[in-house]
């Protein structure tokens, strides 16, 4: 496992659409391990492959209830709306309010090639939607609905 460099701010890879994963091989498993390690080291709750420079459809999520590695995640259902504050590891000094579904149902494949459908609410729904947006070349600053806060102090 290794910590990968995060792509930041205006890096053009963050605006590109990721390709589906058709073969869960050792490279994909290593990528998943590296993404988890990178996410934890950066104290994040989610990470998408484009954020580490890889245009493949894989995300990692851990909101404190255990890690998920989601390959080719697809949001099947959305319910409700909540506006809440978000940040992003690729925009380390920016937070802002974004409207997201309160509840989602997501379909994905795990590292063993097994298909799953799970429901998530609140932070889980927000996190999965945020990371799936990354896979589609959309970053949270595109969706801000309230003034952005920028923290220039490190």
Q: Confirm whether 131 is a catalytic residue.
A: yes
| Distance, CA of 61 to CA of 141 (rounded, Å) | 20
Assess contact for 111 and 32: CB atoms under 8 A: yes
C-alpha 115, offset from chain centre: 19
HSE-CB for 44 with a 13 A CA cutoff = 26
Considering only CA atoms, which of 70, 44, 40 is closest in space to residue 57? Answer: 70
Please name the helix (run of DSSP H) or strand (run of DSSP E) that holds residue 127, with its range, or none.
helix 123-135
Task: Considering the candidates 131, 146, 149, 153, report the single residue annotated as catalytic.
Answer: 131
Active site members: 131
């Amino acid at each position: 496992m290794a910590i990968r460099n995060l792509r930041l701010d205006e890096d053009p890879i963050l605006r590109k659409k990721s390709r589906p994963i058709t073969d869960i091989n050792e490279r994909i498993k290593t990528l998943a391990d590296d993404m988890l390690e990178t996410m934890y080291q950066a104290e994040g709750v989610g990470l998408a492959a484009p954020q580490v420079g890889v245009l493949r459809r894989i995300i990692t999520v851990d909101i404190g209830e255990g890690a998920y590695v989601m390959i080719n995640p697809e949001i099947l259902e959305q319910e409700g709306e909540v506006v809440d504050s978000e940040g992003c590891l690729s925009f380390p000094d920016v937070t802002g309010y974004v409207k997201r579904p309160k509840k989602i149902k997501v379909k994905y494949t795990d590292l063993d090639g097994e298909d799953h459908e799970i429901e998530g609410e609140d932070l889980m729904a927000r996190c999965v939607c945020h990371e799936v947006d990354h896979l589609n070349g959309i970053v949270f600053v595109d969706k801000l609905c309230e003034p952005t806060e920028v923290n220039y102090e490190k």
